[in-house]
Structure 1
Amino acid sequence: MLDVREWLRDVRVLDGGLASELEYLGADINGPLWSAHVLEQTPEKIVAVHRAYIEAGAEIIETASYQVSRMGYAEVGLGACWADGALLRSVALAKEAARFYPKRRVLVAASLGPYGAALHNGAEYHGKYDCTFGDLVEFHRQRINVLASAPPEESADLLAFETLPSLAEAEAIGEALARHPELAVWFSFTCPDAIHVAHGELLRQCATAVSAFPQTVAVGVNCTHPTLIESLIGELRDASDKPVIVYPNSGEGWDAERRCWTGASDPQDFGDAARRWFGAGAQIIGGCCRTRPAHISAVAASAG
């Protein structure tokens, strides 16, 4: 079995945005399941995106499962078995893509979005959910149990809990993980400024808390503006001795009224910023919303 902690010591490059890249390939990601719709409709596009990122230099690829949950699938009339199957299928597609590169070791991380992602109303960017702590534990436990039950040859190498808005949700995940000490996971938070997570807690407080879980192999920040990343790396390093992983957005902005992206993102500028982030102490760098293979290629070049 792959020793994730050992292998992570040499990993530098994560992949980039999945949903936006699927859009560029013509996939329809409208609807409550977002990129998970593509799992059901055109899975070959997911394999194509994974391959594009591996060719760009990614050493870790994330599965197309951010929006997959029993709660989310129930909303569109699909049962628990369907949701669980989608989780496992997303891992299989990532592994299929990695097999095209037998001379490279590519880590597969199961992407697991927060409770707010299943609400598909932007709640992951404030974390003020109308639910109990127990609801959060159960939401995450369902997906953890499915992924943990997969046979080794079909399982993800680690679980990526990402775009987390609050300390409470991170603690709920820790409780849900308690029965699976064998798993390797990372926790990544979304931040509106240089010191806080979206719900308002200090990032360093969150990083300290999740670093205490035996399954934690890295802590980080994602779905955050790139101008904040350097300061946030400092917060993470002050709070924890775990490897730091950062994968910010492209820097473009979303105009909710006109429903379009504004501004521009230059991959070379992103790569130059990645060089500074490596220098500040990040070990693994990738991209989130609106980043593309060209951005990851620039990150790989900056990693040396």
Structure 2
Amino acid sequence: MLPDLRDALRRQVLVGDGAMGTFLYQMGFPVGISYEELNLLKPDVIESVHRRYFDAGARLIETNTFSANREKLSKYGLEHEVEAINRAGVALARKAVGYDAYVVGAIGSIRAGRRKNIRTAKVKEDLRQQIEVLLDTPVDGLLLESFYDLEEMLIALKLIRKTSSLPVICQFATEGAGTTQDGTALPEAFRMLVDSGADVVGFNCRSGPNGLLRSLEKVAGMEGAPAFSIFPNAGIPDYVDGRYTYAATPQYFGETARKFADLGAKIVGGCCGTTPEHIAAIAKSLERYIPNPQAISPVSTGVLESVTAPAVPDLKASVQPSVVDLAKERHTVIVELDPPRDLDIAKFLEGAQALKDAGVDALTMADNSLAVTRMSNLALGSLVKEKVGIRPLIHIACRDRNSIGTQSHMMGLHALDIDHVLAVTGDPARFGDLPGSSSVYDMTSFEMIRMIKQLNDGVAFSGKPLKKKANFIVGAAFNPNVKYLDKAVQRLERKIEAGADYIMTQPVYNTELIEKIHEATKHLNVPIFLGIMPLASGNNAEYLHNEVPGIQLSDEVRQRMSGLKGEEGRAMGVAIAKELLDAAMRYFNGIYLMTPFLAYEMTVQLTNYVWEKTGRQDSHLYPLSK
């Protein structure tokens, strides 16, 4: 009979097991299935994998339950099988190794670092369900692995500690960053976990041995260093001939195992890409291991220098007040001018110059609105800033870029000193001009707002320090053309909680609705730019009302536009827009004008109308520094 897991960790370094999912993939089980369901469908296979790791020398075996929570299983229609899959996972591990190895119940993150829009209450409930099942089985402890955020890790740990004193191992997924993905320095995060009841803290996944060795070096000498666990990937995966492969050899894993142990690792195993051969190399390397006390260098403050280093002043920061500051003082006009669908930018630049001359405060450019391919708004934003001298405000859609592309895009905007952005969800790709293309939606608009504001703290999406801080002013979209305005405002409040600095609405065509919007939002502490788009014709009015999501026209407006086209239609559209502006300017300083079909003459007229009505004489008071 083995001693208690805590006692064992005080006396020796335990060898952990290796990957389950990638090993099953190597055995021929395809990507796209639930590997946890194999506990029920292929129990002999799962049991054999556990036994192979035990035979290789592993004495701490993880159950095949990493994604056996309701949220993850629901993707396969298995949300009602949480209990069955978790119980089977424990039973198979115990059957494979008996009581000659420690069996720990594996619990993965619900959010998985994607900042998905999953309410904290749901995260708690899904974690609670899995934890309760695993605690009702003969496990020797629980392993919280591949967590990205300290917040979620603490939720899980505290749920365990409410009812159980079993040993708990807490592991973050990292690629060498000095912080968790939600911005906490790793030494501080580890202290908080230990204070909340963690027995072992450490790292797994995302990086190979070299990356996790660097991460461990940053925390190994922290005052009162806890016991650490390390489960690296077998290097970076490569895609060769239709298969994923990993390059790190078992020999390499054996060579690094002792380095981990010298830095205080009490458990050393493997994550993605590792096999029984990798674990055998670790076991051989740690056989008769004696710690090297000279190997640990102290980390006196517990806070990484790269995170706390003084910020370098951003000499490129614009002297022009932000639209947020302007809207707090006076009426402020933002005008949208859509990038062209072809390669000719002459009319676009002509319109930008005309709007600059009219005194608009910012020129905003959509990000392939309605999923129709247009010229890059980043490129055009840079052009209008440098050539025209007007502030660009760039929309960023969740649809077109994954997290990597989004951060890269934001870093490029920072380099170009374009600091005003609007985070939007984006219309689905299948409804645009390239219906065969994919919608990414790697993050929601809520998450995008949070992540952009994280760049302002000098922290990358991954949690790595960026050496400098960005200075983005982040806007959020608001659609008031809904049946239940109060619910739309509640969603808006969440965007403001996420960090939105200002709000831009969908176009409104009803003066009564403008007053209702004011009443419903007057408690908010950020400027709201009320959207008004002049109609170009009767057909344009019917198209917007019947086919474009988020836009509704009143019966009166539709009747007034009915049958009109050409100059007559545009004149009526401007007249209606002026009436809407009269109502909007009574309640809102922020005005957001949208230019239809690059007909910038219409929004020039409306901009001039705003200045005439407000008596503003300082439309050029804040020229953009060039």
TM-score, normalised with respect to structure 1? 0.85
Q: 1:254: how far off?
A: 4.9
State the match for 2:65 in structure 1. Answer: 65
Native 8 Å contact 1:189 1:220 kept in 2: yes
**In the alignment, structure 1 residue 289 sits paired with structure 2 residue 272:** yes
Task: Decide which of 137, 140, 144 is 2:127's aligned counterpart.
Answer: 140
Native 8 Å contact 2:204 2:230 kept in 1: yes
**In the alignment, structure 1 residue 43 sits paired with structure 2 residue 30:** no
Distance 2:108 2:244 in 1: 22
State the match for 1:218 in structure 2. Answer: 200
Native 8 Å contact 1:211 1:240 kept in 2: no
After TM superposition, list the pairs within 5 Å mapping 1:154-233 onto structure 2. Answer: 155-214=138-197, 216-225=198-207, 226-233=209-216
User: In the superposition, relative to structure 1, how do residues 209 and 38 fare at CA in structure 2: closer, same or farther (>3 Å)?
Assistant: same
Native 8 Å contact 1:250 1:265 kept in 2: yes
Q: Deviations over 1:139-189 (max 9, x none)?
A: 211111112233xxxx21111000000111112113322421322211000
Distance 1:181 1:63 in 2: 18
Native 8 Å contact 1:127 1:198 kept in 2: no
Q: Find the residue that maps to 2:265 and give its secondary structure.
A: coil
Q: Which protein is bigger by CA-based radius of gyration?
A: 2
Distance 2:45 2:223 in 1: 39
Native 8 Å contact 1:53 1:293 kept in 2: yes
Q: 1:194: how far off?
A: 4.2
Task: Decide which of 208, 228, 235 is 1:251's aligned counterpart.
Answer: 235
Q: Find the residue that maps to 1:36 and give its secondary structure.
A: coil
Letter of the structure 2 residue corresponding to residue 25 of structure 1? M
Aligned residues: 283
State the match for 1:4 in structure 2. Answer: 5
Q: Deviations over 1:32-58 (max 9, x none)?
A: x2x213213211111111111111100
Q: 1:250: how far off?
A: 0.3
Q: 1:190: how far off?
A: 0.6
State the match for 1:242 in structure 2. Answer: 226
Task: Decide which of 98, 109, 128 is 1:114's aligned counterpart.
Answer: 109
Q: Deviations over 1:205-258 (max 9, x none)?
A: 2211111123x2211100031212222223343165321100010003255x99
Q: Find the residue that maps to 1:128 and give its secondary structure.
A: coil
Native 8 Å contact 2:107 2:143 kept in 1: yes
Native 8 Å contact 1:220 1:236 kept in 2: no
Native 8 Å contact 1:190 1:198 kept in 2: no
Native 8 Å contact 1:84 1:146 kept in 2: yes
TM-score, normalised with respect to structure 2? 0.43
- Unpaired runs of 5+ residues, structure 2, are 288-626
State the match for 1:90 in structure 2. Answer: 89
- Unpaired runs of 5+ residues, structure 1, are 117-123
Distance 2:53 2:44 in 1: 15
Structure showing greater relative contact order (alpha-carbon pairs closer than 8 Å, 6 or more residues apart)? 1
Q: 1:74: how far off?
A: 3.5
Native 8 Å contact 1:208 1:239 kept in 2: no
State the match for 1:76 in structure 2. Answer: 76
Larger CA deviation: 15-24 vs 286-295: 15-24
CA RMSD in angstroms comes to 2.3
State the match for 2:136 in structure 1. Answer: 149
Identity of aligned residues (%): 28
Q: 1:199: how far off?
A: 4.1
Native 8 Å contact 2:13 2:286 kept in 1: no
Larger CA deviation: 135-144 vs 52-61: 135-144
